[in-house]
Chains A and B, each alone.
Chain A
Amino acid sequence: MYYFDPHIHMVSRTTDDYETLAKMGCIGVSEPAFWAGYDRGSVDGFRDYFHQLTDFEPKRASWYGIAHYTWLCINAKEAENVQLSREVIAMIPEFLDCPGVLGIGEIGLNKNTKNEATVFLEHLDLAARTGEQILIHTPHLEDKYQGTRMILDMLCDDSRLDRQRVCVDHVEEHTAKAVLDEGFWAGMTLYPVSKCTPERAVDIVEKFGPERLLVNSAGDWGPSKPTAVPDFILEMRLRGHPESLIRRVVYDNPIKFFSQSRNFHFDPPQIDEPRADEPIGV
Chain B
Amino acid sequence: MTVLPLDAEAVLTREQLKVRAKLIEIAAIFDRIDRAEGSVDDDVRMTEIRESIAILSEQSHRGARAERIQMIYSREFDPNWQQNLELTKD
Per DSSP, chain B at the interface is loop
Contact B81 A172 (CB under 8 A): no
Interface residues of B in 41-90 (CB under 8 A from A): 66-67, 70-71, 73-77, 79, 81-82, 85-87, 89
Contact A149 B77 (CB under 8 A): yes
Chain B residue nearest to A125 (CB atoms) is B89
Asked whether any CB of chain A lies closer than 8 Å to the CB of B1, the reply is yes
Apart from the given pairs A174-B71, A241-B5, 5 other A-B contacts in the complex at a CB distance below 8 Å: A113-B85, A141-B73, A143-B75, A149-B77, A150-B81
Contact A117 B1 (CB under 8 A): no
Asked whether any CB of chain A lies closer than 8 Å to the CB of B8, the reply is no
Question: Which of B6, B74, B86, B87 lies in contact with A240, CB distance below 8 A?
Answer: B6
Contact A145 B5 (CB under 8 A): no
Contact B5 A205 (CB under 8 A): no
Contact B2 A245 (CB under 8 A): yes
Q: How far is the CA of A172 from the CA of B69 in the complex (A)?
A: 12
Q: A145-B71, A173-B70, A174-B74 are in contact. Are A209 and B81 (CB under 8 A)?
A: no
CB-defined contacts of B89 to chain A, threshold 8 Å: 121
Chain A residue nearest to B74 (CB atoms) is A145
Question: Which of A141, A145, A209, A245 lies in contact with B77, CB distance below 8 A?
Answer: A145
Question: Which of B1, B14, B73, B82 lies in contact with A206, CB distance below 8 A?
Answer: B1
Contact A174 B70 (CB under 8 A): yes
B residues sitting closer than 8 Å to A (CB atoms) are: 1-2, 4-6, 14, 66-67, 70-71, 73-77, 79, 81-82, 85-87, 89
Contact B75 A146 (CB under 8 A): yes
CB-defined contacts of A210 to chain B, threshold 8 Å: 2
CB-defined contacts of B76 to chain A, threshold 8 Å: 146
Interface residues of A in 117-165 (CB under 8 A from B): 117-118, 121, 141-146, 149-150, 153
Contact B4 A153 (CB under 8 A): no
CB-defined contacts of A113 to chain B, threshold 8 Å: 85
Contact B2 A144 (CB under 8 A): no
- State the Cβ distance, B67 to closest chain A Cβ, in Å: 4
Chain B residue nearest to A143 (CB atoms) is B75
Asked whether any CB of chain B lies closer than 8 Å to the CB of A225, the reply is no
